[in-house]
Amino acid sequence: MAARKTSRRSGEGSAEDRLIAKYFRPLATHPGALGLGDDAALVAVPPGRDLVVTTDGVIEGVHFFPDDPPELVAKKALRINLSDLAGKGAEPLGFLLSVALTRKAAGGWLARFTAGLRADVRKFRCPLLGGDTDRTSGLVSVNIAALGTVPRGAMVRRAGARSGDRIVVTGTIGDAALGVILRRDPAAAKRWGLDRAMREHLLQRYLVPEPRTALAAALRACAHGGMDISDGLAGDLAKLCRASGVGATIEVARLPLSRAARTALAAEPTLIETILTGGDDFEVLASVSADKLDALRQAARRVGVTISEIGRCTRARGDPRFVDAQGRVLEFARPSYSHF
């Protein structure tokens, strides 16, 4: 653990040393983390493998609500990075963590935060390698840099999609974006005709993404192009198409929607824009040649991930077209989420 800003008493270990020992050392199961007792971690990348690195963070009030359970804030922070790795076909190796804590988010918050993180360190076999803990008078923020590996040259790229490829997505689309609306406007549940289970499903999908780590090897074997969906299917597919120099046509009727999303959409058909552009899906988007589609489906079934074919890559460059059951092309006011 990078130990800037440390001790009140150095003799038997400082307050931060104790904090690291109690909360963070149990997460540092990678031998290269050196028990968090050095200034850097030491990673031997296995021969024949490339390192894949990514970083993403969450900020209070931006990516999570101040009253979200700390366990789930931790899971979200790690999982959005694991989702990036999964979309690249990479297996997790470990991660670096930076936490800025406010006065209110001190001991109790941190205990719950690290408990949630510990569960995911085990679940995804992604140990803590090192980190940095600071005080802030601003907002709580959590930044993670995740390291993964792929066999040399096998990273799944954004730029790999080819005209004629089938476009697939994992899981269901739009749940998290609807979940955010429910957090801000609980009355929407009634308007949309959701029962309790449907409401809970959407809220949960916003709080805890499901990175498709288990699918990484199958993606490497089958996908031409791929990425995870974090800013909404429409915007992220546009990025995949631009990087690959292809277009795409999506059949909206084939989109995998949860029962909750279907119910909401039936009550309020304009929600299709939220579903396609709202973001926070953390599902995998990939392009696959037709002859590999079955192999990918079978591999996905084996690891318990659903895969849906939703359209094709086309020769016509430009933004993807989303076509409804009547053959009409959908237009979006705001293709994907933006701060800028």
Task: Give the binding range for a second copy (CB under 8 A) out of 83-91, 165-173, 207-215, 263-271.
Answer: 83-91
Residue type for position 230: S
The size of the interface with a second copy (CB under 8 A), counted in residues, is 91
Nearer to a second copy, 145 or 169 (CB): 145
136-175 positions binding a second copy, by CB under 8 A:
136-139, 141, 143, 145, 147-148, 152, 155, 157-159
Closest by CA to 130, choosing from 242, 2, 23, is 2
Sort residue 268 into left (φ over 0), alpha (ψ -120 to 50) or beta.
beta
316 binds a second copy (CB under 8 A): no
Cβ 204 to a second copy shortest distance, Å: 20
Please identify which residue in 43, 208, 217, 330 interacts with a second copy, judged by CB under 8 A. Answer: 43
Nearer to a second copy, 53 or 221 (CB): 53
55 binds a second copy (CB under 8 A): yes
329 binds a second copy (CB under 8 A): no
10 binds a second copy (CB under 8 A): yes
Residue corresponding to tokens 């309020």: 268
21 binds a second copy (CB under 8 A): no
213-272 positions binding a second copy, by CB under 8 A:
227-228, 230-231, 234-236, 238-239, 242-243
Cβ 295 to a second copy shortest distance, Å: 23
User: How are beta strands 128-135 and 91-101 bridged, if at all?
Assistant: parallel
DSSP code at position 227: E
207 binds a second copy (CB under 8 A): no
Please identify which residue in 116, 130, 209, 278 interacts with a second copy, judged by CB under 8 A. Answer: 130
Site string for a second copy, 93-122 (x = CB under 8 A): ---xxx-x----------------------
Closest by CA to 33, choosing from 124, 131, 115, is 131
Nearer to a second copy, 158 or 201 (CB): 158
Nearer to a second copy, 106 or 290 (CB): 106
Q: What angle do CA 278, 281, 282 make, to 5 degrees?
A: 140
Q: What are phi and psi of 100, to 5 degrees?
A: -105, 120
Give me the DSSP letters along 99-160: EEE-SSSSHHHHHHHHHHHHHHHHHTT--EEEEEEEE-SS--EEEEEEEEEEETT-PPBGGG
Site string for a second copy, 267-306 (x = CB under 8 A): ------------x---------------------------
Residue type for position 94: G
Sort residue 310 into left (φ over 0), alpha (ψ -120 to 50) or beta.
alpha
- Return the C-alpha torsion angle 301, 303, 306, 309, nearest 10: -70
Nearer to a second copy, 260 or 284 (CB): 284
